[in-house]
Chain A
Amino acid sequence: MTPPQAPVEVRHVRDVGPLVIAIEGVTKEYKMGDEIIHALRGVSLNIHSNEYVAIMGPSGSGKSTLMNMLGCLDTPTSGRYEFNGQNVATMIDDELAEIRNREIGFVFQTFNLLARSDSLRNVELPLIYAGVAPHERHKRAKEALESVGLGDRIHHKPNELSGGQRQRVAVARALVNRPSIILADEPTGNLDSKTGVEIMALFDELYERGNTIIVVTHEESIARHARRIIRIHDGLIASDGPAN
């Protein structure tokens, strides 16, 4: 077992805000048949507000496991994870759901929109789970859709939208509850390169507006949009530094 790494000191490209994510010595083990897979072998990292981070690594590196952990979809086998000062590592399902709802905006590779609901209802979904009243919900969902340039598509269903537009709806859904971080998993993976560029431009814009963004990708061109790149290899952080 490799000893936990000390958090790497990050040289910031621009001033960052307070600490959002603090991970120290996190490990994750899976049982696959008789074999125990060490997906993470002791990862430590800090992410502050107003950062733009790319997490890179080949498949099987533990990149996805780390993303699930950061997104509070999963809890570590050992180690410490604090999100805005709350100890996430020992939370139960429903507490994690609450954190995900309030603090994290997910953007998935496959968009994961509800096929039978229009854009507005898709974007409203996190607000329903947050207990926001219908009138307020409509207003905020509409604003979020306008902010990603889809003000004129609010009553379109996913199958009436292009791939890029669908991903914009997903981004609006991620933004709508004003989360602490936006966590995007291969957000351009299902898009053609031109549309991918547009979506990354949208992320850049969101970053400029003060959002904290974590993008998980295996593409260098995507990672270059970020200000900081964390590379994972064999369940460990191989490098963590500013993007060039």
Chain B
Amino acid sequence: MDRLFYEITESMRIAMAQIRANKMRSALTALGVIIGIVAVTLMGTAINGIDIGFNRSLAVIGDDMIYVVKWPWHGVDDWWNYANRPPFHVEDAETLNRIAEGTPGSLIDVVVPTAGRSSTVKSGQNQASGVQTIGSTADYGRTIAADFQYGRLFNEEESRSGRQVCILGVDVSEKLFPGKTPLGEWVKIDGHPFRVIGILARQGSFLGLFSLDNQTILPINAYRKFFDVRNGQVQLHVKVKDKTKMDEAQEEVTGDMRRIRGLLPGERDNFSVEQQQAFKAQLDPIKQGIAFAGLFVTGLSLFVGAIGIMNITFVSVRERTKEIGTRKALGARRRTILLQFLIEAVSICFAGGLVGLGVTYGLGLAVRSAMPSFPLVFSFGLVVISLLVSVATGIISGFVPAMGASRLDPVVALRYE
């Protein structure tokens, strides 16, 4: 046992000396491994980042929400079937709330109707376009995780009477009233006047793709005075009391909706009830795409890297045939020689893996400073995986030449010049 340990430490010394003596050669050989490790870690950080960024965004939108919608979020197989579904009414939310109140142990906290459109908002010469305009009720505040920077949401009374008041996202506010707090100012939303009563705090963007701060919220009864709410623009947002019971809540909402719609047993739902988990599942193909591309690049470069390592190990064995003969004459066994060259191959790969990790880390920092919202998350697991992958590459590619070295006939090896 001691002997094996001494042999391994000796092999490591030799490997280090060998790499130091052939710096350029070792560096070039390790290049394939470096590229492979950069590919695998970049892929990993991107996937990690998407997950974490998504969860962060979900927390903003609210992860205890259920959505009753006309169109399912994925798997639309028969377009006509869905197109002919009846639209939701603003009053459906009220009906759902009443049913929930009458249901003992109901998981439904509150239901709000929402209608949405993309609007242009103006104030004097300033204008903001592509603003997401949302019409809802006073309970809407309970369904979003956002805080107010200034002001408040409209109250029951303003909501019911359809007072022309609005809440602005921080981006809209800054665009229309740069350097000012616009509480009490009037804005024109698609030409209709609304008074600003609140500004939302900054929420950031969703995966760095679109801003959650480019929106405005109106009482739905004001919204419906000017904008169409009949043709499928209305959805119902359901806040659930216990977010560990999302599936049960989803069933409850489905049952209640069937009652409202008067569906008979056996009839298919003419609405869809969605959770954010389902939305999250929509990201899976993207993540799979990244993973697939990453694995392909990784596999290819590791393959090329492995061939390089194998080649350099063959060269190393050839160059040091006489040394192998000498070592064998002095008592090195097959295992000793095998270990020596294997450790040399693994060392080059391991060093390549470390450099690759360093490069990825550097790239990550660069991306973060250039695009702060772009999700790249470096994880400890990735470090472990990449080092394991590089060691495995070394073992696989070094094995054949190292085996050849260990089987050399000492008489032949000693005579080699």
Binding site for B on A (CB under 8 A): 68, 71, 73-74, 93-94, 97-98, 100-102, 106, 108, 112, 114, 116-117, 125-126, 128-134, 173, 177
Residues of B within 8 A of A114 (CB): 323, 326
Q: Are A98 and B331 in contact (CB under 8 A)?
A: yes
Known: A68-B411, A73-B411, A73-B414. A100 touches B323 (CB 8 A): no
Picked from A102, A112, A133, the residue with its CB within 8 Å of the CB of B326 is A112
Q: How far is the CB of A199 from chain B (nearest CB, A)?
A: 19
Asked if B328 is at the interface (CB within 8 A of a chain A CB), the reply is: yes
Asked if B332 is at the interface (CB within 8 A of a chain A CB), the reply is: yes
Could you pull out 18 A-B pairs where Cβ atoms are within 8 angstroms?
Answer: A74-B409, A94-B334, A97-B331, A97-B333, A98-B331, A100-B331, A101-B330, A102-B331, A112-B323, A112-B325, A112-B326, A117-B17, A125-B327, A126-B330, A128-B6, A129-B336, A131-B2, A131-B6
Q: Which 9 pairs show the lowest CB-CB distances between chains A and B?
A: A101-B331, A131-B3, A129-B331, A112-B326, A94-B333, A97-B333, A126-B330, A73-B410, A106-B329
Residues of A within 8 A of B323 (CB): 112, 114
Q: How far is the CB of A116 from chain B (nearest CB, A)?
A: 5
Residues of B within 8 A of A94 (CB): 333-335
Residues of A within 8 A of B7 (CB): 128-129
Q: How far is the CA of A71 from the CA of B328 in the complex (A)?
A: 11
User: What are the interface flags for B323-355 relative to A under an 8 Å C-beta threshold, 1 for contact and 0 otherwise?
Assistant: 101111111111110000000000000000000
Known: A116-B17, A116-B21, A133-B2. A125 touches B414 (CB 8 A): no
Residues of A within 8 A of B326 (CB): 108, 112, 114
Residues of A within 8 A of B335 (CB): 94
Residues of B within 8 A of A126 (CB): 330-331
Q: Which residue of A lies closest to B327 (CB)?
A: A125
Residues of A within 8 A of B322 (CB): 112
Q: How far is the CA of A2 from the CA of B167 in the complex (A)?
A: 113
Q: How far is the CB of A230 from chain B (nearest CB, A)?
A: 20
Residues of A within 8 A of B21 (CB): 116
Q: How far is the CB of A158 from chain B (nearest CB, A)?
A: 12
Q: Are A129 and B332 in contact (CB under 8 A)?
A: yes
Residues of A within 8 A of B410 (CB): 73-74
Residues of A within 8 A of B327 (CB): 125, 129
Q: Are B330 and A125 in contact (CB under 8 A)?
A: yes
Q: How far is the CA of A152 from the CA of B64 in the complex (A)?
A: 80
Residues of B within 8 A of A132 (CB): 6
Known: A114-B323, A116-B21. A129 touches B330 (CB 8 A): yes
Q: How far is the CA of A116 from the CA of B22 in the complex (A)?
A: 12
Q: How far is the CA of A57 from the CA of B373 in the complex (A)?
A: 83
Residues of A within 8 A of B414 (CB): 73, 108, 112
Asked if B185 is at the interface (CB within 8 A of a chain A CB), the reply is: no
Q: Which residue of A lies closest to B410 (CB)?
A: A73
Q: Are A93 and B333 in contact (CB under 8 A)?
A: yes
Q: How far is the CA of A116 from the CA of B19 in the complex (A)?
A: 12
Q: Are B10 and A73 in contact (CB under 8 A)?
A: no
Q: How far is the CB of B401 from chain A (nearest CB, A)?
A: 18
Residues of B within 8 A of A98 (CB): 331, 333
Q: How far is the CB of A123 from chain B (nearest CB, A)?
A: 10
Q: Are A73 and B333 in contact (CB under 8 A)?
A: no
Q: How far is the CA of A134 from the CA of B3 in the complex (A)?
A: 11
Residues of B within 8 A of A68 (CB): 411
Sample of 6 more A-B contacts, CB < 8 Å, known A73-B410, A94-B333, A94-B334: A73-B329, A97-B334, A100-B328, A129-B330, A130-B331, A131-B2
Q: Which residue of B lies closest to A125 (CB)?
A: B330
Known: A74-B411, A128-B7. A100 touches B334 (CB 8 A): no
Q: How far is the CA of A100 from the CA of B410 in the complex (A)?
A: 11
Q: Are B333 and A129 in contact (CB under 8 A)?
A: yes
Q: How far is the CB of A186 from chain B (nearest CB, A)?
A: 13
Q: How far is the CA of A117 from the CA of B21 in the complex (A)?
A: 12
Q: How far is the CB of A66 from chain B (nearest CB, A)?
A: 12
Q: How far is the CA of A102 from the CA of B360 in the complex (A)?
A: 50
Residues of A within 8 A of B2 (CB): 131, 133
Residues of B within 8 A of A134 (CB): 6
Q: Which residue of A lies closest to B331 (CB)?
A: A101
Q: How far is the CA of A7 from the CA of B97 in the complex (A)?
A: 113
Q: How far is the CA of A68 from the CA of B410 in the complex (A)?
A: 9
Q: How far is the CB of B43 from chain A (nearest CB, A)?
A: 40
Q: How far is the CA of A117 from the CA of B326 in the complex (A)?
A: 14
Picked from B10, B332, B411, the residue with its CB within 8 Å of the CB of A97 is B332
Q: How far is the CB of A89 from chain B (nearest CB, A)?
A: 16
Q: How far is the CA of A134 from the CA of B330 in the complex (A)?
A: 17
Q: How far is the CA of A100 from the CA of B327 in the complex (A)?
A: 10
Q: Are A97 and B3 in contact (CB under 8 A)?
A: no
Q: How far is the CA of A128 from the CA of B17 in the complex (A)?
A: 17
Residues of A within 8 A of B332 (CB): 97, 129
Q: Are A130 and B333 in contact (CB under 8 A)?
A: no
